[in-house]
Structure 1
Amino acid sequence: MTAAAPTDADLIAAHAAGDPQAFNELVRRHRDRMWAVALRTVRDPEEAADALQEAFISAFRAAANFRAESQVTTWLHRIVVNACLDRVRRRQARPTVPLPEQGHNEPAVPRDSMAERETRLVIADALDQLPDDQRVPIVMVDVEGYSVAETAKLLNIAEGTVKSRCARGRAKLAKLLGHLRNPDSTGDVPTHESKHGEGR
């Protein structure tokens, strides 16, 4: 009879007891899901990779202090989200570097693809204008599909706080992105191109 696979909690305990392979197995089990969390939160592959590496290092060091008051996955998610928040704050403190112009010899992007890309960039710009405490809950609830309760646990805040931050963030996004629903009423909302093309 095949022995049952160790649970996540078993692996944490084995790691704390000195098993050199236990944490590697834990990472193997959850790497893909944690990567998705990191990428959706920081929206940059390099930043996500750095955040994930920092998160797993933190988890490796803190595993001995893990208490089974929550699921291991919830504990890992919280560490990953915190690492992502640190990366976001550091990134926002640095000046942004404009993307290079498309060269004459580069293939032209189809109009439909350009429109979709422009829409994604405008949405990304709008999200970037939200403070971290509003943007991250919105990404987790509206993009990643976590429940309010799960998000509250991951961010270590009250459920009511998650709801209020999401509500404030959604209200700001509605103003910033209203022109996407009604293209004839763009108002003073700049497009991504005009926003980054001023002063050329």
Structure 2
Amino acid sequence: MLKTRSDLDDARLTKAAQAGDRDALETLLRRHQPKIHAICRRLAGNDADGQDATQEALIAIVRGLPRFHGTAKFSTWAYRVATNAALDELRRRSRRPVPAPAETDDRLAAAAAGDDPASVAVRLDLDAALAQLPEEFRAPVVLRDVAGCDYAEIGQILRIPPGTVRSRIARGRARLAEAMSANGGNHHDTPQRRNDEASRP
């Protein structure tokens, strides 16, 4: 049976895309866009900046693909690009005049879309708590708990040792829990966090 492009692994699709196969490139982008957007959205802290960072990341991936040598997995490289795009967006935002609260815009957009108010509140509580984390903790927590990356991959993305990744995630989660409690929000919980805690000696 012939394989379709959607059945091919990232390595084969990457080589095809680098050779000029547009369909292979589009398949790669569609495959990884949800996690790229999730990373950008959580790091940026609101829908508008998250979308801007996602677009910048996708453009950077397309432009940088010819220089991708395959020393890491395509996903690792793509998530590094996404992380950098989101952090760059945060730095640009810090230099801009302060607009109306993004939280208000997100609440209005969610209401218009018919989202459950309780889930919107939890999401905004998490955004507010993440915004209080320094970059060194925020990025590894998002990559672990939102993107589901393992410690080794996060180390490659952030270019830090796996032991440092583990330490920063633990400290970041602790700060996140404190911030959410202080804000009256729910405890931050993900399958990755439950697995990590269950594996502790």
| Contact 1:12-1:64 at 8 Å conserved across structures | no
Aligned 8 A contact 2:39 2:142 in 1: no
Q: What letter corresponds to residue 169 of structure 2 in structure 1? A: C
Q: Contact 2:14/2:25 (CA < 8 Å) preserved in 1?
A: yes
- Equivalent position SS for 2:2: coil
Equivalent residue, structure 2, for 1:78: 80
How many angstroms does 1:76 deviate by? 1.2
The answer on whether the counterparts of 2:40 and 2:82 sit within 8 Å (CA) in structure 1 is yes
Q: Is the 8 A contact 2:45 2:130 kept in 1?
A: no
Structure number with higher helix proportion: 2
Matching residue within 132, 145, 149 for 1:146: 149
- Aligned-pair RMSD on alpha carbons? 3.3
Deviation at 1:87, TM superposition (A): 1.0
Change (3 A) 1:117 1:15: closer
Letter in 2 for 1:35: H
Give me the whole-angstrom Cα distance separating, in 1, the residues matched to 2:91 and 2:13: 32
Residue 127 of structure 2 is aligned to residue 124 of structure 1:
yes
Written as runs of structure 1 = structure 2, the 5 A alignment for 1:98-109 is 98-99=100-101
> Runs of 5+ in structure 1 lacking a partner?
103-108, 182-200
Instruction: State the identity as a percent.
Output: 38
Structure number with larger C-alpha Rg:
1
The TM-score, its normalising length taken from structure 1, stands at 0.68
Is the 2:44–2:90 contact (alpha carbons within 8 Å) kept by the matching residues of 1?
A: yes
Aligned counterparts of 1:33 and 1:172: Cα–Cα separation in 2: 24
Taking a change above 3 Å as real, the CA distance of residues 24 and 141 of structure 1, as seen in their structure-2 partners, is closer
TM-score, length-normalised on structure 2? Answer: 0.68
What residue number does 1:165 align with?
Answer: 168
How many residue pairs align between the two structures?
Answer: 173
Give 2:28's match in structure 1, choosing from 14, 26, 29.
Answer: 26
2:17 counterpart (15, 19, 27): 15
